[in-house]
Amino acid sequence: MKILDVLNEQAVLVDLKSNDKKGVLDELVAPVARMTGTGPEALVKVLMERERLGSTGIGGGIGIPHGKLQALNDLILGFGLSRSGVDFESMDGRPTYIFFLLLVPESSAGLHLKLLAQISRLLKNEDFKAQLMQATNAQEVLRIISEKDEEI
């Protein structure tokens, strides 16, 4: 599986407006809610419950909010860029700019962990992060990811 196997263009947002965690999650789940048929409030609730266990702001300007949802059949991935940065309670205390939203079926075993690891590995590449930060539309984000995307 590649990242682009689960990242739908409709779930790529290149200009997040919110400046707090809840607002960013609200924005990120909006297109995903339409795709899954699950209400955005339910999705945000799952994500906020996961955030209470520890921030998914992993540092280096990266946030990977994720959660398990009973109603899902497949992995759902979303992407968001914040030009100004968000206080996402990141491990390094710095603003978060690049977000990958991952929702997985409650019964999901290990595939989502592999996807999280692949995303994390890609985001360690500073050139890759810089290219994403310069993207102006969803197609550009998908092209940048496709150049680095590997089968897992």
Strand partners, 67: 103
Q: How far apart are CA 72 and CA 149, in angstroms?
A: 24
CATH number at residue 114: 3.40.930.10
Chain-centroid distance, C-alpha 145:
13
Q: Which domain holds residue 7?
A: 3-148
Tell me what pLDDT residue 151 has.
57
Residues 6+ apart with CB under 8 A from 38: 69, 71, 72
What is the number of structural domains in the chain? 1
Q: How far apart are CA 123 and CA 108, in angstroms?
A: 23
Catalytic residue IDs = 66
Tell me what pLDDT residue 133 has.
96
Q: pLDDT tens string for the chain (152 positions)?
A: 789 999 999 999 999 999 999 999 999 999 999 888 889 999 999 999 999 999 999 999 999 999 988 878 888 999 999 999 999 999 999 999 999 999 988 877 677 888 888 898 899 999 999 999 999 999 999 999 999 887 54
Tell me what pLDDT residue 35 has.
85
Tell me what pLDDT residue 115 has.
87
What φ, ψ does residue 19 adopt, rounded to 5°?
A: -120, 15
Tell me what pLDDT residue 71 has.
77
Do 88 and 55 form a contact (C-beta atoms < 8 A)? yes
